Every structure is written in structure tokens, then in C-alpha cells.
Amino acid sequence: MVNSLSIILPILFFVLAPSVIQGQSDHTLQLYDGPLSSPGSWLSVNNYIENLQNYAFNDLASSMCVIRGIWLFYENPSYNSVFLGLSAFYWGENFCDDLPAGLNNQVSSVRYAGSPFGFQADSINIYQVDWFQSYEVFAATDSLDLSPYYGGSLIVTGRSYWTLYDSPNYQGYRVCVSPADITYAYPGFYTQAAEFGFSGRVIRSARRGCWTEKMFSPTFSAQPGQLYRRN
């Protein structure tokens, strides 16, 4: 278990959510400016929002409903890329929760992880900083030459292993990473580079499958319907 990990159990959501603008992604999130007992105004989200100020919702969210998908929450705009801060994630379908202290009225940007066409499809998100902060690289197919990112954290979705390399063209140092559960397509959350053996290294290429004996699995299994946060 990651030392800085906190888990908040949510409330099961049975009520149908309001309709959202279609054509963005398969991921759907509702943000509310009040607690679940009195939710008030709400914002439907099915794409990346770099700054909630652009939607008049910055630092207003007090509760949320994840209708579908893997959702990441950030204390600062631009996914904490300018100023690092508190971050949290949630995945699953049809659950709601009041945001805990530290996130309540503090969320400034949100984005989803995984394929836009299905949150349990095979893909990998590579983030520059720990806890899925800052810039990212996304891959759903083999990638010979990725932008040179220090892989600070990863999210692996679907049922496929992935091999990461520190050189282009599938060369150099390599590790194999997996989702949390291949049978049920539970995503794998790697909150720090040390969790997948890539501390201080640059990820330059990636391909599906396991092409090395150096294998890593998530250090914890993030369950659907729970909010996990970095303290």
C-alpha cells in the first residue's frame, strides 16, 4: 500500500444523471457545487478541462458523480503542471461522493485516463510527475518514438501488458507493466516511477505485450467506487 494513499468510500448512485453533450468521450463526470444532500448547480464533463475557471466552476465542486470512466482531480489548473498540488483519482461507474477535505472547493482541473472510446480498452497513460500530474503521453498502439518524458507515474487500462523502453525503436532498458486485473480489466495505477522500475529514466517507446522478464504490477489494487488521493 502506498504510504501517502487515502481511500474514501463513496455512496452508490442509482439516479439517472442529466444528459451531457455528446461526442467527446465515453467518460462522464458530474461536479456539484454543494454536498450530495443539497447538490445545487452542476457541471457535466466528458472531456479534459484544463481550467474550471473557464466554466465558472473553479474551486466550487463539493461533490461529484462518476457516471463512467477513470477521472483525475487536481488542486491547480493545467493538471498541476505549473504548481504541484493535491491530486486524486476515481474509477468505475455510477457512484457519487462528497469531496473530502483538501479537495472540497479546491478542484481547478479534471481529466480522464484511458481510451476516449472505452475506459476499459487497452491503453497506457504516461505522466511526467508522480500521482498523474503535469504533462502526459497516451498510447493505444505500439509507439516507436515517444516524446522524451520522465515517466513519473502510469495508468494501464484494459487487458494488455505493456513494455516500456528508455530508447526509441524498442531499444535499451525495458520493463513490463500490467493492469491491476487482466480478467476484469481493472486499471493499474502506478503513482510513482519507483513502482515500475523507471526512476530517473526517460520513456522513449512503448509496445503492447511483455518483452522482458523485468515485470511490475501495481503496488495496490484500486477498487471501483472509491476515491484515492495524494495527501
The pLDDT tens digits along the chain (231 residues) read 333 444 433 333 323 233 233 345 789 999 999 999 999 999 999 999 999 999 999 999 999 999 999 999 999 999 999 999 999 999 999 999 999 888 999 999 999 999 999 999 999 999 999 999 999 999 999 999 998 777 899 999 999 999 999 999 999 999 999 999 999 999 999 999 999 999 999 999 999 999 999 999 999 999 999 999 986
Cα separation, 27 vs 69, whole angstroms: 5
- Residues 73, 128, single domain; the answer is no
Q: Looking at the structure, do residues 161 and 70 belong to the same domain, yes or no?
A: no
**Residues 95 and 134 occupy one common structural domain:** no
- On whether both 32 and 90 belong to a single domain, the answer is yes
**Bridge partners, residue 109, by sequence:** 74
**111 and 128 inside one domain:** no
Look at residue 230 in the predicted model and tell me its pLDDT.
Answer: 85
Look at the block and give the residue holding cell 535499451.
172
Range of the domain at 208: 123-216
Alpha carbon distance 137, 119 (integer Å): 16
Asked if residues 192 and 1 have their Cβ atoms less than 8 Å apart, the reply is: no
CB burial readout 33-46, b (16+ within 10 A) else e: beebeebeebbbbb
The rounded distance, in Å, linking the Cα atoms of 29 and 10 is 14
Assess whether 205 and 127 both reside in one domain: yes
Q: Between β-strands 123-129 and 42-45, what pairing exists: parallel, antiparallel or unpaired?
A: unpaired
Report the pLDDT value the prediction gives residue 150, as an integer from 0 to 100. Answer: 76
- Whether residues 204 and 132 share a domain: the answer is yes
Q: Are residues 90 and 55 in the same domain?
A: yes
Residues 37 and 20 in one domain: yes
Question: Would you tell me how many other CB atoms lie within 10 Å of the CB of residue 19?
Answer: 7
The three state secondary structure string of the chain is CCCCEEEECCEECCCCCCCCCCCCCCCEEEEECCCCCCCCCEEEECCCECCHHHHCCCCCCCEEEEEEEEEEEECCHHHHCCCCCCEEEEEEEEEEEECCCCCCCCCCEEEECCECCECCCCEEEEEEEHHHEEEEEEECCCECCCCCEECCEEEEECCCCEEEEEECCCEEEEEEECCCECCCCECEEECCHHHHCCCCCEECEEEECCCCCCEECCCCCCCCCCEEEEC
Do residues 93 and 166 share a domain? no
Q: Are residues 15 and 110 in the same domain?
A: yes
User: Per the structure, how many domains does the chain have?
Assistant: 2
What is the predicted pLDDT for the residue at 80?
Answer: 97
> According to the model, what pLDDT value does residue 231 have?
66
- Asked whether residue 82 falls in the same domain as residue 141, the answer is no
Cβ neighbors of 102 (< 8 A, separation 6 or more) are: 75, 86, 229, 231
CATH number of the CATH domain containing 99: 2.60.20.10
